[in-house]
């Protein structure tokens, strides 16, 4: 093990040996978290720099988070150490890209101690060091630690040592970030191929946004009509994120009685209300290290909106009927099919909660706006899935059925199409889904008999079914004969005059099969 090498006694030699050991160690390590934790341990053990923390600037460059903390620093403490560039000593070191030394820690110096690590210590007797972690001259994070002021004989030497450590850490962090992005890019293409089916510009934009936001903990608000796939997108963002090993818990805010919403989200203590026979952990407690997906967020009662706002602002909450404050380490993704701006005006939704949730909005387009190509990609994907699940060998959808699918306006969006294709797969007896396998609501959307022709209104249901079957037969014959009406008529046992009459009656565009 590298950390068992003998450490020279001379201070300068010891520091040089430490730097060499760190350089060799980082050149071979893949796990950034464990590697940087080990570096902080060596700084504490060999040089006396206690309570070391590595904070990194996120990809959006709007938040600095304590990603790595020294041994003995609780994980939930690191969660609290989040800053904006320029905020506190850490934020200032990154914003100005310069090392900072405090000979005795004082609040007036801008020292926030947001983690509470130094509570109970005599801050005036501590020396605090914070140096920027740079990559190609740009600050990407900070390394901070403290030691007793009485042990500091050469503060400039201490800053130089920590700056050299940060210099070694910078390229390592950036290399791991680039490798993580490459892995994320590959995961995006594999995951979206199976889940977010579609190649329309609108869906490509959704995919790009999901890939960008997955790597950070920014709150996401997904909007769109019912059935567009908001839940699928939320699960995809979780699976592409660093939190993918943790749970992703979905809560339908509109399906839970108002009296139980608080208990579901935040948990409750024994005896908090009638029926609370035992303590129960809420969603935010069970989702530690993972993601909470709040579907239909617009249905939350006002009192719960207030508590949710506090979680978003401070990452803290209490169980119903309890006094213990719990720190939440769960990312929040919300979704709604409502017009929340209108609800804010009407006083049904808090504006401050909306702005906290709507940091990174993604709109899921309705199926009717995605184009015929996406409709058919979805239909084919559902056919393949249900064919496999039902043990059938359905290989295609015939032309009349395609016309009906692409002519329909899909008020229920992707969810409705999924149900339609499942029904058609059940009805299909061969290897092809025909138009008459589709629900009546889809049939004859493209081709309909003209007013005054065919059956009377009271017989329209029967006449429509007969017409639909004739359209299907004629369309398939024209497709098989490349639009040749004479050959199509021969295949159907009709005269050319009869098939031409039927083509005019139903408005079939025979030339598109040429």
Give DSSP secondary structure letters for 287-301: TTTSEEEEETGGG--
Q: How many CA atoms lie within 13 A of 104 on its CB side?
A: 3
Q: What is the pLDDT averaged over residues 146-158?
A: 89
Of residues 370 and 400, more confidence is placed in: 370
Checking if the pLDDT of 356 tops 50, the result is yes
Helical spans, DSSP H, in 215-251: 230-240
Q: What is the pLDDT averaged over residues 258-281?
A: 87
The DSSP H or E segment spanning 357 is helix 351-357
Checking if the pLDDT of 373 tops 70, the result is yes
Residue 494 tokens, joined: 């009709």
124 pLDDT band, cuts 50/70/90, is: confident
Q: What is the pLDDT averaged over residues 411-423?
A: 95
Q: What is the pLDDT averaged over residues 433-440?
A: 88
pLDDT at residue 386 in the model: 94
369-513 under CATH 1.10.8.60, yes or no: yes
Q: CA nearest 285: which of 334, 320, 251, 319?
A: 319
Checking if the pLDDT of 227 tops 70, the result is yes
With a CB cutoff of 8 Å and minimum separation 6, the contacts of 60 are 216, 218
CATH class, range 195-365: alpha beta
Three-class SS state of 160: helix
pLDDT at residue 229 in the model: 93
Q: How many CA atoms lie within 13 A of 189 on its CB side?
A: 5
At 104-116, the pLDDT tens digits run: 877 777 777 666 6
pLDDT at residue 180 in the model: 67
Every domain of the chain with CATH number 3.40.50.300 lies at 195-365
Q: Which CATH number is associated with domain 2-180? A: 3.30.450.40
φ and ψ at residue 102, rounded to 5 degrees: -115, 115
pLDDT at residue 447 in the model: 47
Cβ atoms 210, 237 nearer than 8 A: yes
Mean pLDDT of all residues in the chain? 84
Of residues 90 and 10, more confidence is placed in: 90
Every domain of the chain with CATH number 3.30.450.40 lies at 2-180
Checking if the pLDDT of 276 tops 50, the result is yes
249 pLDDT band, cuts 50/70/90, is: very high
Of residues 129 and 513, more confidence is placed in: 129
Of residues 197 and 77, more confidence is placed in: 197
pLDDT at residue 193 in the model: 56
pLDDT at residue 284 in the model: 94
Every domain of the chain with CATH number 1.10.8.60 lies at 369-513
Of residues 465 and 298, more confidence is placed in: 298
CA distance 82 to 145: 16
Of residues 278 and 472, more confidence is placed in: 278
Q: Quick one: how many helices (H) and strands (E) in the chain? A: 18, 17
Checking if the pLDDT of 446 tops 60, the result is no
pLDDT at residue 454 in the model: 45
445 pLDDT band, cuts 50/70/90, is: low
pLDDT at residue 191 in the model: 58
CA distance 266 to 202: 36
Q: What is the pLDDT averaged over residues 445-471?
A: 58
Cβ atoms 405, 370 nearer than 8 A: no
pLDDT at residue 207 in the model: 87
367 pLDDT band, cuts 50/70/90, is: very high
Cβ atoms 307, 326 nearer than 8 A: no
Q: What is the pLDDT averaged over residues 461-478?
A: 77
């Amino acid at each position: 093990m590298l950390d068992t090498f003998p450490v020279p006694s001379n201070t300068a030699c010891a520091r040089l040996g430490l730097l060499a050991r760190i350089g060799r160690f980082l050149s071979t390590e893949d796990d950034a978290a464990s590697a940087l934790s080990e570096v902080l341990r060596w700084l504490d053990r060999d040089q006396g720099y206690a309570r070391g923390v590595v904070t990194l600037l996120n990809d959006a460059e709007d938040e600095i988070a304590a990603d790595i903390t020294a041994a003995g620093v609780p994980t939930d403490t690191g969660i609290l150490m989040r800053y904006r560039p320029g905020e506190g000593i850490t934020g200032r070191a990154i914003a100005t890209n310069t090392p900072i030394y405090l000979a005795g820690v004082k609040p007036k110096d801008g020292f926030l101690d947001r983690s509470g690590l130094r509570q109970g210590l005599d801050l005036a007797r501590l020396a605090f060091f914070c140096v920027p972690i740079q990559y190609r001259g740009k600050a990407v994070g900070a390394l901070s630690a403290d030691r007793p002021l009485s042990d500091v004989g050469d503060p400039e030497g201490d800053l130089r040592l920590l700056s050299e450590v940060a210099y070694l850490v910078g390229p390592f962090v950036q290399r791991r970030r680039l490798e993580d992005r490459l892995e994320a890019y590959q995961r995006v293409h594999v995951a979206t191929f199976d889940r977010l089916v579609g190649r329309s510009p609108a869906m490509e934009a959704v995919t790009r946004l999901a890939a960008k936001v997955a790597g950070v903990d920014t709150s996401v608000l997904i909007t769109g009509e019912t059935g567009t796939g908001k839940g699928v997108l939320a699960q995809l963002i979780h699976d592409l994120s660093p939190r993918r090993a943790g749970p992703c818990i979905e809560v339908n805010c509109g399906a839970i009685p108002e009296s139980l919403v608080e208990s579901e989200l935040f948990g409750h203590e024994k005896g908090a209300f009638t029926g609370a026979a035992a303590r129960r952990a809420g969603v935010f407690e069970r989702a530690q290290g993972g993601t909470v997906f709040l579907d239909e967020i617009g249905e939350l009662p006002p009192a719960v909106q207030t508590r949710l706002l506090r979680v978003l602002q401070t990452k803290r909450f209490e169980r119903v009927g309890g006094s213990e404050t719990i720190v939440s380490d769960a990312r929040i993704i919300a979704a709604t099919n409502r017009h929340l701006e209108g609800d804010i005006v009407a006083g049904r939704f808090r504006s401050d909660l909306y702005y906290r949730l709507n940091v990174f909005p993604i709109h899921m387009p309705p199926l009717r706006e995605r184009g015929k190509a996406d409709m058919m990609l979805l239909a084919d994907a559902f056919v393949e899935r249900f064919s496999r699940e039902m043990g059938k060998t359905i290989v295609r959808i015939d032309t009349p059925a395609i016309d009906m699918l692409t002519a329909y306006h899909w008020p229920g969006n992707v969810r409705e199409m999924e149900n339609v294709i499942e029904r058609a797969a059940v009805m299909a007896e061969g290897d092809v889904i025909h138009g008459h396998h589709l629900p009546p609501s889809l049939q004859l959307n493209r081709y309909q008999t003209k007013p005054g022709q065919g059956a009377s209104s009271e017989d329209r249901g029967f006449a429509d079914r007969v017409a639909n079957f004739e359209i299907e037969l004629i369309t398939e014959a024209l497709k098989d004969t490349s639009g040749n009406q004479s050959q199509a008529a021969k295949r159907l046992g009709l005269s050319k005059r009869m098939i031409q009459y039927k083509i005019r009656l139903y408005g079939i565009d025979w030339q598109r099969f040429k």
